[in-house]
Amino acid sequence: MSLVNVVMAQINPLVGDIEGNVAKVIESTITSQQQHNADLVVFPELTLCGYPPEDLLLRSSMDVRIADALLLLASQSFTATIVVGYPKREGGAHYNMVGVLQQGQWIAEYAKQHLPNYQVFDEKRYFEAGKAATVFDFHGIPTALSICEDIWHDEPLLQAKAAGANLLININASPFHQSKQQERVDLLSHRAKQGDMAIVYVNQVGGQDELVFDGGSFVVNADGQCPVQAPLYEEGLFLAQCACVPNMSEVSFMESVDSVAPPMCDLSVIYQALVLGLRDYVNKNCFQKVVLGLSGGIDSALTLAIAVDALGADKVTAIMMPFLYTSELSKEDAAEQAKRLGVQYDSIAIEGVYSAFMSSLEQQFSGLPTDLAEQNLQARCRGVLLMAISNKTGCLVLTTGNKSELAVGYSTLYGDMAGGFDALKDVPKTMVFELAKYRNSMGDEVIPLSVIERPPSAELAPDQKDEDNLPPYEVLDQILERYIEHDQSADAIVNAGFDKETVYRVIRLVDINEYKRRQSPVGVRISKKGFGRDRRYPITNGWKIGV
């Protein structure tokens, strides 16, 4: 029996930065050899180009750059074997590939067989499917390869077993949604027992536009037990020691002190996804700072806390933009939260800006009643000011809309929707409250209690409350979840016990506001169906509400 050191390289690649990603692979391999005496270092899916590369894959120069990257890796004097993912064109077909580099030679390659083409995935646009198992010898262990979606299907694992594999390496770029990690562990436990083999599961970490990759790499033994699990949301090189008998079926990973990361509560998992998604969007797009409108309401309060946790207080500016209807409590709460978090805080009254707009529009508005146009104009005054600050200082503007508001259009195009990133885009309003309470429970009450406890209001009209225009959020969010995430019809939702008039009204609001959402900033995806890559509905359509 011998011990083999396997390192799960849970790294954070940058899409399109092939040179930088190759440098990260080289550095990670050398560090794994030095710190862990690594025999095998496993990297995530499409590491060399980053995931998802989208239409960068259609550029002919991608092939040239990947070929150069593979040659550069082969020129390194690695003592460890490395397993790494990359795109590769062979015989006119393009494949999502994983390769094995051993002693300067690429000794094995495997093409992904199951190409996901649902929700946020679009791989059939770019790749052809592989058809066969690949098994290579690693320290006398017949070892098979697979890529991400393959592990969710029977055939690749059964092919590997039929080819004599005793160990399976599955590399991933698996994005986060609620409860995803437990789904992975349960699935891999089943697959390990099904194939009577140990499995190494390596996932990347980091934010890429609306997607967040949460890491959580792990190994399972043939009995389905998970002795080693890397932390969520943490980039690093995580050791898993394997006891094996060469040329036999006995391959077993060993549990050690602190080899299994402690579990995180559901709210913590979601909050960290929002923090990582915001941090990587800002940093990978080379913004130095962010700015947001701090209204004294709960959405901007939570967004501010996320921004500070992601970037540090010195990189965040909060702007209060009061108007005639802004309450003194809102002003006080905004100033107090800014003080507690230590961010730069400014107040810019918008009465003068609003009056100038109204003066310019006097002829066009003459004889027409006061309505939503005047309310939206207030929001657009604020959007103009924030975008001006962004242009002058180079700060990224964070919008603060939540999923409930975006779903029903309770937001102003070119007003509070004006900006570059929305951390709460996929967070329902009821969860906003839960996350605010969770953030305050972390040891410092950064969000004033009055912000959490008082009824939500846009404060665009006297004594305005959100529930004057919308159903209670507890009801609204349930209807939205059924309609958006589970694709239930209006009648099915009514049959589940909801008021018919309310359901039909909410669904109509969702349907007619698709044009707004198409123009909204990108934001972190935390559900199984967020607005953006997940849900693609036509703006112009004649679909009737009902069954």
Residue 249: pLDDT above 70? Answer: no
- The verdict on whether 112 is a catalytic residue reads yes
**Based on the domain organization, do 235 and 308 belong to the same domain?**
no
Residue 247: pLDDT above 60? Answer: no
Query: Cα angle vertex 272, ends 268, 275, to 5°?
Result: 145
In a domain, 246, yes or no: yes
In a domain, 470, yes or no: no
Q: What is the pLDDT of residues 97-120, one digit of tens each?
A: 999 999 999 999 999 999 999 888
In what helix (H) or strand (E) does residue 494 lie, and over which residues does it extend?
helix 490-495
Residue 484's nearest CA partner among 454, 457, 517 is: 517
Q: What is the pLDDT of residues 159-218, one digit of tens each?
A: 999 999 999 999 999 999 999 999 999 999 999 999 999 999 999 999 999 999 999 999
Q: What is the pLDDT of residues 290-343, one digit of tens each?
A: 999 999 999 999 999 999 999 999 999 999 999 988 889 999 999 999 999 999
Question: What is the Cα–Cα distance from 204 to 452, expressed in whole angstroms?
Answer: 35
Catalytic residue among 112, 289, 403, 516: 112
DSSP state of 197: S
Q: Residue 304 — φ and ψ, nearest 5°?
A: -60, -45
Question: What is the Cα–Cα distance from 292 to 316, expressed in whole angstroms?
Answer: 8
In a domain, 407, yes or no: yes
In a domain, 471, yes or no: no
Strand partners of residue 84: 99
Question: What is the Cα–Cα distance from 390 to 187, expressed in whole angstroms?
Answer: 45
Domain housing 143? 2-263
**Based on the domain organization, do 324 and 241 belong to the same domain?**
no
CATH number of the domain bearing residue 120 = 3.60.110.10
In a domain, 28, yes or no: yes
Catalytic residue among 24, 49, 148, 315: 148
Question: What is the Cα–Cα distance from 350 to 199, expressed in whole angstroms?
Answer: 60
Q: How many residues does the chain have?
A: 547
Here the tokens at position 19 are: 């040179």
Question: What is the Cα–Cα distance from 181 to 171, expressed in whole angstroms?
Answer: 15
Residue 496: pLDDT above 60? Answer: yes
Residue 46's nearest CA partner among 71, 69, 76 is: 69
- The verdict on whether 528 is a catalytic residue reads no
Catalytic residue among 24, 45, 289, 405: 45
Question: What is the Cα–Cα distance from 547 to 533, expressed in whole angstroms?
Answer: 25
| pLDDT bracket for residue 455 (50, 70, 90) | confident
Provide the percentage of residues in the chain whose pLDDT is more than 70.
98
Q: What is the pLDDT of residue 116?
A: 93
91: left (phi over 0), alpha (psi -120 to 50) or beta: left
Q: How many domains does the chain have?
A: 2
Does a cis peptide bond (omega within 30 degrees of 0) precede residue 52? yes
pTM above 0.85, yes or no: yes
CATH number of the domain bearing residue 326 = 3.40.50.620
- The verdict on whether 235 is a catalytic residue reads no
Provide the percentage of residues in the chain whose pLDDT is more than 90.
85
Residue finishing a domain among 434, 461, 488: 461
| pLDDT bracket for residue 248 (50, 70, 90) | low
